Chains A and B, each alone.
Chain A
Amino acid sequence: MKKRVWIKRTIASLTAGLMLAVSPAITALAEDLPYDTYNYDYRLNVVMTPAAYVPTRSVTGQDLGIDGFTEPQDLCVAPNGEIYVADTKNSRIVVLNHNMTEVVRIIDSFVRDGQEDGFRMPQGVCVSENEQLYVADTDNKRIVVLTPEGEFIKIIDNPQSEILEDDFDFTPLKVAVDYADRVYVIAKNAFEGILVFESNGQFTGYFGTIQVKISLWEKFWRKLASKEERSRQQLFIPTEFTGIDIDSDGFVYASNIDSDGVQGVRRLNPKGEDVILKGDKANLGGDIQIGTYGTYGGPSEFVDVVYREKGIYSLLDRKRGRIFTYDREGNLLYVFGGLGTQRGTFNTPVAIEVVDDQIIVLDAYQASILSFGETDYGALINDAVALRFDGDEALAIGKWEAVLKLDENNELANTGMGKAYLTAGDNAAAMKYLKLGMNRKYYSIAFKRYRNAILKDNLNLILTVVIAVILLAVVYQKFLKKKFSIGRKKKGAREGGLAQ
């Protein structure tokens, strides 16, 4: 028995070695990974899939030859590829090179009006397209704008407006900047939404307020309750945003913790309206099948979002340490990651970013940056979705075909194949794949074409049969009925009275 296992293992490792030798891309055996990769199918069952991303390395401060990070809270990738880490408890910003192999510089102080100034617990960091560094200097209650080298440019603090309460305490947590240098700030206790500042530092208003949902039942109880009771009830306040990112069109992606587990991310247009597409499942809340009790139960809690490219974005769940990736239409592409102490798992994930084809995640407790590389499977899905985003569905068919070889139940791939066949005019094949992909709308279109083609081809036969049947019926009625009905009782059931 033991020998058998040994042989099996040898074969497995040999094959793995061979595969590694043959393909330059990363190949992972499921048993080597500390987490499962899965997705939800049409009926919301969990379906295990091949790994989409595998842990490649983790970087701590010591690895880089500096003091370790202490509860770092945010990550940002600059346009030039450098990676900025908000090393919160050390009150500094650490800049790493593109490959995260060495420290480019550490910014822990700057000269402002001739005086030395520093950060206190900076929790957010962002580099704008114009290469300006924005730091959410949390405990100093201000946003510090610097050049990437650390030269002081300006400070945004103490927003003044009628819409703000008099005792409003501006405590910035996360910051993002769009192409017009508008600054979006998530601040503590700013339940009305994201604070927006013009490029001159002028506060312009709140943005993307999350509406509070009160059920009819809660309304009913509030009606019944007395004023005193009502004052002691919990307040209905909207959830705060947790993470923010801006896509290439200037739309703001903002994650939030949704206690219903339905929508944990918003895509806000310049007016602040949510324009995200929620997909067929109408769910952007991460895990759908969840336990109810314990620290591991309850809906996913998204702490950060990263817009990747071609409409794809990833969300980081701190509850179960998972990364959810959706496409522009709101389809869940893959879920991976987990909490734990093994290599490639998280303890307290706080921020997510993308560097080339790597996903990097900052863990506050482990004080390290974990990176994940895409596998063949993940790359194929990303490419196919990107091709669809560009409108090249015909080109995507090859990718989807390859995805199906790795994961034949992938509904997105089946739908993609079906759509391609539909465009090519092969309705029967399209029907097969669209049914496997559980895409009712397109299946119906394929079926309609298929059915109408059959009807058209056999119209002569069908009409002949119909006319023949009518003729037969007429003949039967006119000439034969009498003959057959001789001797049969004319009495129907009604006149029969008691039959017995």
Chain B
Amino acid sequence: MKELFSKDKWKYAFYTVSHPMDAYYEIRHRERGSVPIAIVLVILFSFTFSINRMSASFIVNDVDPLTVNALPELVAVFLLYGLFCVGNWSITCLMNGEGRLKDTAIAVGYALIPLIVCFNIGTVFSWFVTEDEGAFYTMIVGVGIAYGVIMALMGIMQIHNYTLAKTLVTIFLTFVAMFIIIFLALLLFDLLNQLYSFVHSIYQELIFRV
């Protein structure tokens, strides 16, 4: 565990931001990445997102503060993250991807760094802007999102050793896989529910009759 959180690993996460192509290659082939760090980054991103919605200035922020709740948002972000990683892994397994589940997890997790940075900078920046300067705030956040998306794209491309076109196709299929997983999960949940109620009614019959 100590190794996975070492200073070197942290430094490498930031190195990934500046040199995504090279760094993702080494993450896949030289074990430079760390899943715990990726998970910490996801948690940080979730909080950053909530903080941004909660306390970005009134001028740029139309969110009702009463609707912001960090914990459900953390759960939602984690669910999406996990779903994406599993979906991507299951698709790339079938499409000759070289990456492992942990590589995808690291690739996506590290790609959140620009979002974390830009959202936080944007939140602080928004306290000093007026309405006509709001475009700068949008730009800061937009740059963060764009950089994050590009990083994730590069990461998935590198760890699986894909071409760009194939990456885009797999990402599309990943979303399809995510929907299938959600569908199956709902189906399973429903079935379990019915099973439970079935057993429960038998139990009640027995209780009342015996």
Contacts and interface: CB of A to CB of B under 8 A. Distances in A.
Interface of A: 43, 435, 440-441, 443-445, 447-448, 451, 492-494, 496-500
Given A443-B59, A445-B130, A451-B130, 17 more contacts: A43-B64, A435-B58, A441-B131, A444-B130, A444-B131, A447-B59, A447-B130, A448-B130, A451-B128, A492-B15, A494-B15, A496-B8, A498-B30, A498-B32, A499-B8, A499-B32, A500-B31
B162 interface: no
B12 A500 contact: no
A500 B26 CA distance: 13
B131 A493 contact: no
A498 B131 contact: no
Interface in B118-146: 128, 130-132
16 contacts: A43-B64, A440-B59, A443-B58, A444-B59, A444-B132, A445-B130, A447-B59, A447-B130, A493-B8, A493-B11, A494-B15, A494-B22, A498-B30, A498-B31, A499-B32, A500-B31
A7 B171 CA distance: 72
A27 to B, nearest CB: 33
Contacts of B19: 494
Nearest to A438: B58
A230 to B, nearest CB: 36
Nearest to A447: B130
Pairs A-B, 3 closest by C-beta atoms? A444-B131, A448-B130, A493-B15
B205 interface: no
A440 B11 contact: no
B9 to A, nearest CB: 8
- Residue among A435, A441, A498, A499 with the most chain B CB within 10 A? A499
Interface string B47-88: 000000000001100001000000000000000000000000
Interface in B1-27: 3, 6, 8, 11-12, 15, 19, 22
Contacts of A500: 3, 31
Contacts of B64: 43
Contacts of A448: 130
Contacts of A451: 128, 130
A500 B32 CA distance: 9
B30 A497 contact: yes
A447 B130 CA distance: 7
